[in-house]
Structure 1
Amino acid sequence: MSVEFETVEPAPSPATGSRRRAALMAYLAAMGPGLVVMLADTDAGSLITAAQSGAQWGYALLSAQIILIPIVYMVQELTIRLGVVTGKGHGELIEAHFGRGWAWLSVSTLLIACTGAIICEMSGVAGVGLMWGIPMWVSCGAVTAFLLIVAVTGSYLRVERVAIAVGLFELVFLVTMVMSAPQPAQVMAGLATFPIDNSNYLFLVAANIGAVVMPWMIFYQQSAVVDKGLGIANIKGSRWDTAIGSVVTQLVMIAMLVTTAATLWANHEGGVDLNTVEQISDAITPHLGVDAGRILFSMGMVGAALVAAIVVSLTAAWGMGEVTGYRRSLGDGVKQAPWFYVVYVAVLAVGATVVMSGVNLIDINIFVQVVNALLLPIVLGFLVVLSQKALPEPYRLKGRYAVVVWTVTVVMCALGVYSGIAGIFTS
């Protein structure tokens, strides 16, 4: 006679369940700034850069997108430390530790980057509008009105929720990547291809670096965690928020690159030079049908452009306020913080004006990303030095990790500047 015993798994102790709930609540409390800034990172300009990379070079720039995942997390994690520990924005810390002149230099680079970014976002929406026969002035006007309403009628938390909601439309490009059916042999060959003797390739290398590590991201996330009221207790949740966002943003970039590589580059020897946003849409339609493809592409591109437009316009207004001292919280109305909203509107106006001037939308987007790469030494230099100078001992950047961060920073800056200059002067 045999006796069978039923194995019963021990129930988790109340203490274990409480810790898990506490960890989840801490993450949910911190969630937002990292995911928003990463969704904004994959903006209209970044998507256009990824599309051009795939159309011209196939999978040769795919390895760069993968390598940039830990790098963009490394950069943004430093902004978390500085924001939650000091309770100050990036411009404020630069002024406190380096002086007003250096703070103005940093904010000047920020304004250049933000202006370039808002041009990209407006151009992305305008390009989609043109696909559907909508005049540029209508598209740009609608975006401007939407962004004004979002800022004037909402607290930071409400703006954050709107940004995440519209930004998630970018995930549509993961579907197009799968449906484009890339050839594994071509992908593997592309991962091992580095034609560094070609100036056009170097130009796109710089553009891809500038499309992933952007100056305004540093200012935004640091100001956002401060405006949201996050503190040291939220640092772990904020890191998870940023890590998840880092993977999501690069998956979207990879998806766009693979989609155009599989549909355009693979079928045209020597690659294709994209000149309009509609051409990028055409890379998707063979797999989804003309109507469905255009609708999904429009949703993804407009979602990417809107979330980034919210972020960059807010960043410019926050950054200027940190140096000039004007009130700069979304919790303040127009009467309480007039200059905050003046800067916010000015950035939008410049973007709309440039886009409606008739410039080539593809070229201006890629050029903006190259400018971002050229600005990296100033932006990353301040960030890393502040991480060693402005933080108390437990949170300071130090030891072997500091060596890793400095090494990555120097390599990124050198590669971005070299590729950008080489591409500009030899193309």
Structure 2
Amino acid sequence: MKQGVRTRAIALTRQLGPGLITGAADDDPSGIATYSQAGAQAGYGLLWTMVLTYPLMCAIQLVSAYIGRVTGVGLAANMAKIFPRFVVTILVVLLFVANTINIGADLAVMGAVAGSVIPINAHVLTIGFALVSLLLQLFIPYRRYATFLKWLTLVLLAYFAVLLFVHIDGRAVLTGLVVPHIGSKAMITTIVAVFGTTISPYLFFWQTAQEVEEVNNNPLAEPLVDQPWQARREFRRIWFDTLSGMGFSTVVAIAIIIAAAATLHARGITDVQSAQQAAQALEPVAGRFAFLLFSFGVIGTGMLAIPVLAGSAAYGIGDSRGWESGLEYKVRDAPAFYSVIAAATLLGIVMDWSRLDPIKALFWSAVINGVVAVPMMLAMMIVVSRHSRMGKFTAPRIMTVLGWAATAIMAIAALAMFIF
């Protein structure tokens, strides 16, 4: 029996792929900063956003995966078959701008936290992280080094340890999870930031592209429109992979919010102004090493997320232009694709010289993602419903309903932020 359980466990593990990587990348430095701000500002009051976003993010990421696996080409390439060229160009430009801002914010906070630990200028460290990340993307296949980077993200589990060492108001947690609470006009912006860092445009393009990579790198795999008999097995894998990856991302986010609420909010810190303040949420478990632990988390998730951000921008632009696109290609085989990655990464460095505090930059990059996600999601839902692209594999009813619901909720939240 033990052998049978072990065999089933191994089989399930092998089904984890693009969805798990996407979920891990979702808890990037922007996510850590935004969830910390949510817990500090509202205590347990915004936990309901995580309950709401989980099924919605699952639906929209499933849409992304379906499009890639069914058609065998990227998201922008599919959009180009349905929408006018100028519309697709606007969407990929928005993606590039949002991702570049996010990369800049990630790099800035990575340099800032590292500069507080070691006696090297923060700007120099920011440039160093950017160059190391870029060189890894240019000369080493992403999957090879991402495996090692994922281990650094395990420091995020420290937020779960915090929950064992602090007083948590269980009733307030349950209330926060099930009762929507807004509180003030300013909190609407925080809600948009939470939505934006949880349901981000770069994740859509990334997961679609990774499913395409799965097809291209497997000699036995073909787009499902060409080999429909593979659909049942592939869709089962995609659902398990995506629900697991998004579930991991959501549970980590909930732990960060609760930890920040039980530490920062409880001390009267309701506006996280710096990385040092954000790190205080880890003090109950790490003591004077809290900032060091926080720094490892930020740097680890940042090094994992920057290739995803730059890569998704390159996939979007490359697919829309018909370029050879993929992180498994060598630079000489996909020069235009890697030029976009280099441009997004190097332009991100410029943000390090802005006057905005890195933590605030992370928060506002999440807000921008929340706004940019709306037209992206609208276009995706149209693509996944078109028989001309998906054949008989258009999105099932539950995915369609939740996908359109996610689009509507993101649009309402963004509109409310502009109104108030």
TM-score, scaled to structure 2: 0.88
Match of 1:252 in 2: 252
2:288 alignment partner AA = V
* C-alpha displacement of 1:172: 2.8
CA distance in 1, matches of 2:250, 2:398: 26
- The correspondence for 1:370, drawn from 339, 355, 367, is 367
Report if the CA contact (8 A) 1:206-1:419 is conserved: no
Question: Counterpart of 1:126?
Answer: 111
Q: 1:62 and 1:277 mapped to 2: Cα distance? A: 22
Count of matched residue positions in the alignment of Structure 1 and Structure 2: 403
Asked whether 1:65 is paired with 2:50, we answer yes
Task: Render the CA deviation track for 1:163-195: whole Å, top value 9, x for unaligned.
Answer: 533434433322233333322133245446655
Within a 5 Å distance, the mapping from 1:374-413 to structure 2 comes to 374-389=371-386, 390-393=389-392, 395-399=393-397, 401-413=399-411
Deviation, 1:249, is 0.7
Per the alignment, residue 137 of structure 2 pairs with: 151
Larger radius of gyration: 1
1:235 is the counterpart of 2:235:
yes
Q: Is the 8 A contact 2:95 2:372 kept in 1?
A: no
Once the two structures are superposed, residues 277-321 of structure 1 have per-residue CA deviations (whole angstroms, 9 ceiling, x without a partner) of 111112322442102x22322222222212111210111111111
Question: For the residues of structure 1 that align with 2:183 and 2:271, how far apart are their CA atoms?
Answer: 19
SS of 2:81's partner is helix
Note the 1:173-212 alignment, pairs <5 A.
173-191=159-177, 194-196=180-182, 198-212=184-198
1:6 aligns to what? none
The within-5 A match list for 1:23-422 is 25=11, 27-132=12-117, 133-191=119-177, 194-196=180-182, 198-229=184-215, 231=221, 232=231, 233-268=233-268, 271-291=269-289, 293-389=290-386, 390-393=389-392, 395-399=393-397, 401-415=399-413, 417-422=414-419
> Does the aligned pair in 2 maintain the 1:157–1:228 contact within 8 Å?
no
Q: Which moved more, 1:255-264 or 1:404-413?
A: 404-413
C-alpha distance in structure 1 between counterparts of 2:373 and 2:328, whole Å: 31
Q: Does structure 1 conserve the Cα–Cα contact (< 8 Å) formed by 2:77 and 2:319? A: yes
Same amino acid, percent of matched pairs: 24
State TM-score, norm by structure 1: 0.87
Once residues 399 and 179 of structure 2 are traced to their aligned partners in structure 1, the CA distance between those partners, rounded to angstroms, is 30
User: Are 2:63 and 2:399, in contact at CA under 8 Å, matched by a contact in 1?
Assistant: no
The letter of the residue matching 1:223 is A
Asked whether the equivalents of residues 171 and 300 of structure 1 are also in contact (C-alpha less than 8 Å), the reply is no
Of the structure 1 ranges 209-218 and 293-302, higher mean CA displacement relative to structure 2 is found in 293-302
- SS of the aligned residue for 2:332 comes to coil
Match of 1:5 in 2: none
Query: What is residue 225 of structure 2 aligned with on the other side?
Result: none
Q: Bigger CA drift: 249-258 or 349-358? A: 349-358
Which amino acid in the other structure matches residue 198 of structure 2? V
Deviations 1:55-103 (A, max 9, x none): 1110111111122111111110111111111100000000012232222
| 2:105/2:351 contact within 8 Å kept | no
> Is the CA contact (8 Å cut-off) linking 2:165 and 2:284 kept in structure 1?
no
Q: What amino acid sits opposite 2:300 in the alignment? A: G
1:142 deviates by: 2.5
Shift of 1:111: 0.7
Stretches of structure 2 that go unaligned for 5 or more consecutive residues are: 222-230
- The structural deviation recorded for 1:22 is 8.5
Whole-angstrom CA distance in 2 between matches of 1:399 and 1:329:
32
Quote the Cα distance in structure 1 between the aligned partners of 2:174 and 2:401.
32
Shift of 1:130: 3.4
Letter paired with 1:296: L
Give SS of 1:178's match. helix
The structural deviation recorded for 1:157 is 3.2
Whether contact under 8 Å (2:104, 2:352) holds in the other structure is yes
Cα pair 2:196 2:368 within 8 Å, conserved: yes
C-alpha contact (below 8 Å) 1:127/1:278 kept by paired residues:
no
Asked if the contact 1:370/1:420 (under 8 Å) is kept, the reply is no
Q: CA RMSD in A?
A: 2.5
Which stretch shows the higher mean deviation, 120-129 or 91-100?
A: 120-129
CA distance in 2, matches of 1:117, 1:303: 16
SS at match of 2:390: coil
CA contact (8 A) 1:318 1:328 kept: yes
